[in-house]
Structure 1
């Protein structure tokens, strides 16, 4: 139901809660593992500017690679969605989630990388996964939700809070907050934070293998839809 091609706002938000949890866990666990957050493209853009000025080429190249990987992941997600829309009817949202789950399972092997170059590769890999996930929920929800973009969600919470305050101060204005939207945003931010706690704890307990339960969750969401046989089209 959550990954089916027949969408509703409730299904979009239900899937978004799961993906926000995975995003928060991947981001926090990735920070403990690699000392870098993997969904903060704004931060990487700032790193490019800062380190271009001070001449720190290693950090500069790492930031460029992280942004390129995130963008590539988003592009791959769009390719998978459009490919499956034409060739795997009704499964075009399940496919990118399955690929993300597989990539997360592979990330669990990143602990074998002990060199600096290997760590940078693992960082780029996880950034790509985050880009794929963000693009997938963006496509599914019609650009209403982006699970790795907490800044945007918190901004929207502030906007709705401002509308609520304005409406209370000047009730004749007719300005009201969107309570349903505000509730969903709060739940999404809460899921992201909860995922962060899970990811950080998971890394401290399991090391890089913290990614395996997250991969299992994505595969559990996607594989039933992918493995279900669809009836062939019959002419009448």
Structure 2
């Protein structure tokens, strides 16, 4: 088993990238599950939501009653979050030197504020959570020729199917390029289960727990990066 895992990851750094990506996919799925249960609105993937906005806008109901308001706010929030990541992280290719730790901690902060507004101003809570997911999804969109997505699975399924088809055709596809999408898919599925259970165990507080986890993870990443730089003699 360990040998097959090593074949999936060609170098230690890639192993850490995959592990971090799985953690982020797990958490994003948990956030999304809570919003789907309570408000029926996705905050981590918006393909279907854009279609729903168009359909419900013509349904004759008020925007807030039909849910179209939440869907529109989620779409704008996701775009805004991705824009923030593009401004501060600067580049779609993953580079360890970029401020990922601080960005992940900021995502946690947004989720805490989203928790605080969930009951009184639900549309604002949706906006903030979608903004957090947009920030996460835009952290690093490319690594070693692969497209990384940690808030939805459509791209992962596309990558997996494409690589399987090429391999069946006789082209060489590195085993880790098949393993990474599978691991991210599994993490997303488990995260959705966790988010559902968290919603049942701690009703109304799932965002609080997940926000704290994000902040702790962001701080841990920053500390590790500074430790590695100090150990290698580079600038901290």
Normalising by the smaller structure, the TM-score range is: 0.7 to 0.9
Structure 2 equivalent of residue 202 of structure 1: 198
Partner Cα distance (2:178, 2:201) in 1 = 34
Label 1:64 to 1:178 Cα distance change in 2 as closer, same or farther (>3 A).
same
- Which residue, 44, 53, 58 being the options, matches 1:53? 58
Deviation at 1:200, TM superposition (A): 0.7
Deviation at 1:50, TM superposition (A): 1.2
Moved more, 66-75 or 40-49: 40-49
Partner Cα distance (1:141, 1:212) in 2 = 34
Indicate the RMSD between aligned Cα atoms, in angstroms: 3.0
Moved more, 186-195 or 211-220: 211-220
Point out the structure with the larger helix share: 1
Determine whether 1:66 maps to 2:74: yes
Structure 2 equivalent of residue 4 of structure 1: none
Moved more, 51-60 or 21-30: 51-60
Counterparts of residues 88-99 of structure 1 (less than 5 Å):
90=97, 92-99=99-106
Determine whether 1:9 maps to 2:14: yes
Partner Cα distance (1:141, 1:69) in 2 = 29
Determine whether 1:156 maps to 2:164: no
SS at match of 2:150: coil
Deviations 1:89-144 (A, max 9, x none): 9461111111001112233334532xxxx222211221111111111142778872
Conserved? CA contact 2:25–2:150, under 8 Å: yes
Mark the runs of 5 or more structure 1 residues left unpaired by the alignment: 1-6, 83-88, 168-173
Give the TM-score normalised by structure 2.
0.77
Label 1:55 to 1:124 Cα distance change in 2 as closer, same or farther (>3 A).
same
Structure 2 equivalent of residue 23 of structure 1: 28
Determine whether 1:108 maps to 2:115: yes
Conserved? CA contact 1:23–1:148, under 8 Å: yes
Instruction: Pick 1 or 2: higher relative contact order, CA cutoff 8 A, min separation 6.
Output: 1
Label 1:194 to 1:76 Cα distance change in 2 as closer, same or farther (>3 A).
same
SS at match of 1:127: helix
Higher Rg of the two aligned structures: 1
Counterparts of residues 130-141 of structure 1 (less than 5 Å):
130-138=133-141
Conserved? CA contact 2:42–2:49, under 8 Å: no
SS at match of 1:207: coil
- Which residue, 39, 43, 50 being the options, matches 2:44? 39
Structure 2 equivalent of residue 190 of structure 1: 186
Determine whether 1:77 maps to 2:85: yes
Conserved? CA contact 2:113–2:125, under 8 Å: no
Give the TM-score normalised by structure 1.
0.77
Label 1:182 to 1:29 Cα distance change in 2 as closer, same or farther (>3 A).
same
Deviations 1:189-230 (A, max 9, x none): 000000000001101110231223322332222214546598
